[in-house]
Structures are given as structure tokens and as C-alpha cells.
Structure 1
């Protein structure tokens, strides 16, 4: 696998998901062994391990323990930095290794569709949910526990923290989300990330590569690598939200071809012509998406629902599966390629590949 450059001079942190996993493991280890650990070792969603400090652990009442971990976002400007994330753990009858996981006070609850978590459930995303369950099972296995466990994740002052995030706009009410596909937080410095993009492009060019293959993150990069196995690894650069900057730099360095791999949410921001596609940069233009859905063959009712969608993913899910959805995604990709051309000017061939949330290629568009 490719070795990714670390953002220079900035301290790395860990996600709310890792904090919750550490609190769960600390609470269960205390219940099962009576030991209070200052640090616990937890699994990361993408492999590897992380040592996390435990702020406190003890009995909440008879049969239940509560552990608290203070989230450390490193040098990343994160609204949830220093959040006190707790887990209330209880041993219950059940299948060995079974873990019931719920969100409590300070953890948001999903009230609108279009998110990875179904409506009505606590806003604990799939990757951190699996991470928390795995950490809990490690504690039970190590102690020889033959039953099950019930966990409740809490966030002190989580509702106030959520007001500084996008959660209220997305219909996640009552607290923050438990997030983290990687388990760690890499500091986001605009200048540092641009420097990393520059370095990646310069190395690729010096190696003789004539195609720059950009992706918004690790998942989309893996998908793009699988789609384009003929490209050497050096061609691939994680460009995050720097849509215009990456394209402009690649064109200036003389790459003959530029490819972007992304998911539908970023594709929509690209199609809007945004130079920088971060969620905070500009709201999603759902009216424009509704017009594209109409052009793709969706009926008026579907178009009205798209115009009132909660997220880009929600808009995509509203459009019926099959030919209409594929045309809708393809039209969006064409808009993204047109925006890319405005940044690249004359010269490089352009290709944008959008991947489905469950895997596979959803749509792509080209510009010669």
C-alpha cells in the first residue's frame, strides 16, 4: 500500500469514535476485573492500534460502570476537541460477545434521511460503531466473560457542542455525532495540505507519469486505484477538498490527463463549480439537483422531493434506482467535468469518476 505523507509539524489526535471505544473498553475492564487503567489499547477501524488515556472510571451504581475519555483532536480545529465522552457499561445475559450499543445524553439522534445511520437511531456512524463493539469484545474475551454487554455512550455538554456543527442542519438533534472512519484525526492545515499536493504531483511528474489521479480521501483513492490498475501508485494524490487548486497545479505541471475519484456528495459540490468543496464552503444547491433529476427523467413528485432533500446522498436515494438514477449521476458528473475544465483551461484530458456508497462505479464523465 502507498505510504501517505503526514501533515508536517502538526500534532495528530483521535476521533469521537476512538474516544467512545476507549471509554467502553475501560468501563468493561473495570466491571470484569476491578482494575482502573490509566490507558487502554483500542483497535482502529482501518487496522492498527491506539493507546488512549482514560480520565476516570468507577461504579455508576450497582452493576454498572462509567468511564470517561477526553477527546484530543490534536492540532485540528475541531468543535468536539476536549469533549468528555463517557460509556455506561453493564454486563447482561445473552450470547457470548453480544454487545448492545445505544446513544445517551449528548449523543445526537437522526431525524432525517440521507445519512449513514437510519432515522430514529443514535448518531453513531457505522465505522465507529464497529470499532466500539470490537473494543468491548476484546475486554470481554480477555476477562473470560461468557455473557453479553450493554453500552450507552454519552457526551457531556454534547447538545451545546452540536450547535457549533452541521448536525442541526442535517436533522441530527440532541447532541454530537460519534464519527471517525480512520479513528485518528489528521490536522487540517490548508497550506500544509496544499504543500502535500504539490509534492505528490512533483514526484509523479519527475517519475515520468503523465496522468494525475486525485481522490478526496482514502476510500475514494482505493476505489480509484481498483478502477485504474494500469496507473502506477505514484500517480495517486489525496487532494481532499482542493478541487480547483489540484487541477490548476496539475495542468501547470504539464500532466496530459487528470482524473478525479469521489463520492456523490463531493461530486455535487464540484458540479456547482466550487473551487473548494468542504461542507462549510457553500450549501448544496438542491434546486439545481432537482432540475438535473428532471432532465434525467424523474417525475415532478421526485423532483420536488429532491429539491427538499437533506443531503446530496439523500437526493441520490430519492431518485429511483436504475436508468434514471444513473442518468442523474451522469449529468452531475458532466457538470463537474465542465467545472474542472474551467480550472484546467486548455490542455489536459479530464475524467471524473463517482463511486456508489455501497461500492462500484456510479457514474463518470470525460472531457478531451
Structure 2
């Protein structure tokens, strides 16, 4: 059975309680019990404790369990000092700062989400006398470097990681958690005033859209393999139109009605390419070669050599129709299919309309 872990938010709350117990009661606790938002008790080991005059410091090592979390193993540090009434939470080194509107924390504040903030406050509630208070500074040594491996730079969070978590518990290999981490990109686009966005599978598509074709950076959203989920997010956030933008080997699946594009879950690339080639008059020999191709790029080469590369416009149109049907026509969709070098292999008329409305100056 896979082992669960503790979120950065729960780690920060446990470290804050350990430091406060040392500062306010003189207690040195190497294991701290906190309560998560669901009312469950979480036992969190404390790596180290230190009292320095009027400030106490506690370190908890972030444990991701069996989840491949880039923050696993980082020290989460809480420094607690007495101040005027209430709990005042600050961000220290390695905790990112929010620079763009649309996230759960306001611009200029540390990237400590509301649930972790509440967990920190709740962890200290029974320790603070009426009229008194504490200042809690959360820092994560090494957070600056690790943040570069996350979506934080794209989200406008600079200088470190985010303190996250809605339950305090990291559940291993959580696809749901990964999906939810992508949704804030749409919130940022909406906050920047966009009602039309680009959905692309990854960072190569992002760079191509922004740097090569001049689409607005704030409106380009990474969706990974979760086409259907991100379409639902767009509908929920009031997005009016999307451009599906990416390598043909990914987005050709959408034309076949596949909305989770991981190759182990669904494929159908060769079948879709072969079907469209046949629809446009390809001979049986070419169709057989496409079906036997080992990669989408190999199939593309066959189509180009045989003069059937034009089918990608029709595939793009079909993908757009499928995406609109998936959302029950609650938004408009266009599709752009790219080669590995970033050149456009095919797109539909909806793309031209949406692209122009987004200010795509290099639209063909």
C-alpha cells in the first residue's frame, strides 16, 4: 500500500505549533499533533527546535510519502515571536510572493493559501492568551530552486514555493491534485481580463504560442493531458472561447473524442489519421502504412510524401467540433496542430476567428 505524506501547509502548521510551545510554555516536543480541516489528527515529527531570546524556531521536514513531489525533503521552518493580539503570518526566504491577481492570496502577499493559514491559526489557538498574539514567519530553505520546477513562475509567484494543501494529507500519485494545480492558470487569465484562452499540453506549446506566434502570455494555459477537465474549468470560469494548441500527436486524439490524452489511457492516433486519409481518398497501401507507423511523426512523413498533409485542417476542425460538443456548446473552440518544429500543420476557420479576437498578429 502506498504511503501518504504531509502537505507543506500541514508542515508549516506543525512547525508553528512546535515553536510556539517552546516559546510560550518552554516545552520541547519532537512530535506534534495538529487537526486538519476534516477534523482528523495528524502526527508530524519535528526535526529540530531552537530558542533564541524572544524567538523560537522549529523545523519540520516536508514528507511527500510515496508521492513524487518536488517539495518532499525540504525543511519547512517556522519562527515564532510574541507580538500584539492575533496571529500574524509572514513569508520568509523560499516562500514565493504573489505578483499577479487571480490567485487565492492577494498580490504582494506570501503564497500561503487560505487553508494552510487557517491550519496555522488553529494550531496556535489554545496557546495564545487573550489580548496577546504571535508573529509567525514561514520559510523554506531551498524553496527558490525547487520553485523553478513547478508552475509558480507561470502563475506569477516569484522567489519560492507555495504553502499549499486542502486536507493536510498528500495522497500518493494523486492525478486529482495535479489537475487542480493547473486550474489557477485560468483564474489568472480571467483576472487579467481574458475571456478567450489557449490550452496547450505543455511548455513547448506554451513557448511556441507566445514567442513564435505572439499570442498573449497571460492567456496561454498548460493543460497537460487533461483536455476535458480543463475545458470544464474554462466553462466554470466564464471563458467564452479556447484555442486547443499543440503537437498533432496529442491533439489528433481530441478529433476522435478522447479528452484524456495520456498514451496509457487512450490513443487512437494512427486510427484517426488513417480514417481521415481514407476519407480524403488515400489508397489502401498508404492507409496500411499509417496504421503500421510507430509514431505520429512517422505517419506525418508518410502523409507529406503522399500529398495528404492537407487532412490536418479537417482534423483540426473535427477536434474543435468535439471540444464544443464536450462542453455542450457552452464555449467556442478552435484547434491548431503543430509539428515538432512548431510549424502549423493544420487549423480550422474557428481558429482564425478566435485568433484574430485575441490579437494574433501572425495569423496565417
Structure 1 residue 264: deviation in Å?
A: 8.0
CA distance in 2, matches of 1:333, 1:280: 15
Asked if 1 retains the 8 angstrom alpha-carbon contact of 2:198 and 2:243, the reply is no
In the alignment, structure 1 residue 57 sits paired with structure 2 residue 49: yes
Instruction: Please name the residue that 2:362 is paired with.
Output: none
Out of 85, 88, 97, the residue aligned to residue 109 of structure 1 is 97
Asked if 1 retains the 8 angstrom alpha-carbon contact of 2:145 and 2:160, the reply is yes
Instruction: Please name the residue that 1:343 is paired with.
Output: 258
CA distance in 2, matches of 1:157, 1:145: 36
In the alignment, structure 1 residue 176 sits paired with structure 2 residue 161: yes
Instruction: Please name the residue that 2:57 is paired with.
Output: 66
* Map 1:148-163 → 2, pairs under 5 A: 148-163=133-148
Deviations 1:208-267 (A, max 9, x none): xxxxxxxx56xxxxxxxxxxxxxxxxxxxxxx759xxxxxxxxxxxxxxxxxxx88849x
In the alignment, structure 1 residue 82 sits paired with structure 2 residue 70: no
* Map 1:182-331 → 2, pairs under 5 A: 182-188=167-173, 241=179, 265=186, 283=206, 307-309=216-218, 329-331=239-241
Seen in structure 2, the aligned counterparts of structure 1 residues 16 and 264 have a Cα distance that, compared at 3 Å, is: closer
Partner SS state of residue 342, structure 1 = coil
Seen in structure 2, the aligned counterparts of structure 1 residues 282 and 54 have a Cα distance that, compared at 3 Å, is: farther
Seen in structure 2, the aligned counterparts of structure 1 residues 77 and 162 have a Cα distance that, compared at 3 Å, is: same
Seen in structure 2, the aligned counterparts of structure 1 residues 117 and 241 have a Cα distance that, compared at 3 Å, is: closer
Seen in structure 2, the aligned counterparts of structure 1 residues 150 and 241 have a Cα distance that, compared at 3 Å, is: closer
* Map 1:91-170 → 2, pairs under 5 A: 91-94=82-85, 98-140=86-128, 144=129, 146-170=131-155
Asked if 2 retains the 8 angstrom alpha-carbon contact of 1:114 and 1:310, the reply is no
Partner SS state of residue 10, structure 2 = helix
Asked if 2 retains the 8 angstrom alpha-carbon contact of 1:170 and 1:311, the reply is no
CA distance in 2, matches of 1:182, 1:24: 17
What is the TM-score normalised by the length of structure 2? 0.55
Structure 2 segments unaligned to the other structure (5+ residues): 190-196, 223-234, 246-250, 260-271, 273-324, 333-364
CA distance in 1, matches of 2:219, 2:198: 17
Deviations 1:1-44 (A, max 9, x none): xxxxxxxx211101111110101111111111101101111121
Deviations 1:271-320 (A, max 9, x none): 9787xx7x779649977xxxxxxxxxxxxxxxx9x82317759xxxxxxx
CA distance in 2, matches of 1:12, 1:78: 11
Instruction: Please name the residue that 2:9 is paired with.
Output: 17
Out of 19, 22, 34, the residue aligned to residue 26 of structure 2 is 34
Partner SS state of residue 11, structure 1 = coil
Asked if 2 retains the 8 angstrom alpha-carbon contact of 1:333 and 1:352, the reply is no
Deviations 1:157-176 (A, max 9, x none): 22122222222333222211
CA distance in 2, matches of 1:19, 1:327: 31
Structure 1 segments unaligned to the other structure (5+ residues): 1-8, 194-215, 218-239, 243-261, 288-303, 314-324, 354-362
What is the TM-score normalised by the length of structure 1? 0.54
Asked if 2 retains the 8 angstrom alpha-carbon contact of 1:73 and 1:81, the reply is yes
Asked if 2 retains the 8 angstrom alpha-carbon contact of 1:284 and 1:312, the reply is no
Number of matched residues? 243
Partner SS state of residue 309, structure 1 = helix
Structure 1 residue 121: deviation in Å?
A: 1.0
- Structure (1 or 2) with the larger CA radius of gyration: 2
Partner SS state of residue 149, structure 2 = coil
